[in-house]
Amino acid sequence: AQSVSQHNHHVILSEAASLELGCNYSYGGTVNLFWYVQYPGQHLQLLLKYFSGDPLVKGIKGFEAEFIKSKFSFNLRKPSVQWSDTAEYFCAVVGNNDMRFGAGTRLTVKP
């Protein structure tokens, strides 16, 4: 079975700092990649997705992610975080008809 790794469990940043959250997966074939966000007390919402084409994808709220096939990675970035970005972020990968989520990264942004 494939696996998805999110190496940062809890990230604490000050407002305006830059963010990069790592996501690595194990499946070697064609994949669809997603980042979801879960704000406190809410359900998961899609931030962005990659199916094919330009490996740099832009999502909502200024987030972007880069697919690097050779590194099996799909890292999430934001140039300047806001207090409202405090949430848990999940990477998800679909490959060979199997969808897996990472364990999640909790982001705390200090005002």
Partner 1 sequence: NAGVTQTPKFQVLKTGQSMTLQCAQDMNHEYMSWYRQDPGMGLRLIHYSVGAGITDQGEVPNGYNVSRSTTEDFPLRLLSAAPSQTSVYFCASSYKREVEQYFGPGTRLTVT
Task: Say how many C-beta atoms besides its own lie within 10 A of residue 109's C-beta.
Answer: 19
| Collapsed DSSP state (helix, strand, coil) of residue 59 | coil
| CA atoms of 23 and 44, how far apart (whole Å) | 17
Site membership for partner 1, residue 74 (CB under 8 A): no
**Smallest separation, CB 97 to partner 1 (Å):** 7
Site membership for partner 1, residue 101 (CB under 8 A): yes
Query: CB under 8 A: which stretch of 18-26, 64-72, 73-81, 91-99 binds partner 1?
Result: 91-99
**Chain centre distance of CA 8:** 11
Give me the residue label for tokens 């890292």: 75
Q: List residues near partner 1 by CB under 8 A.
A: 1, 4, 6, 9, 32, 34, 36, 42-46, 49, 90, 92, 94, 97, 99, 101-104
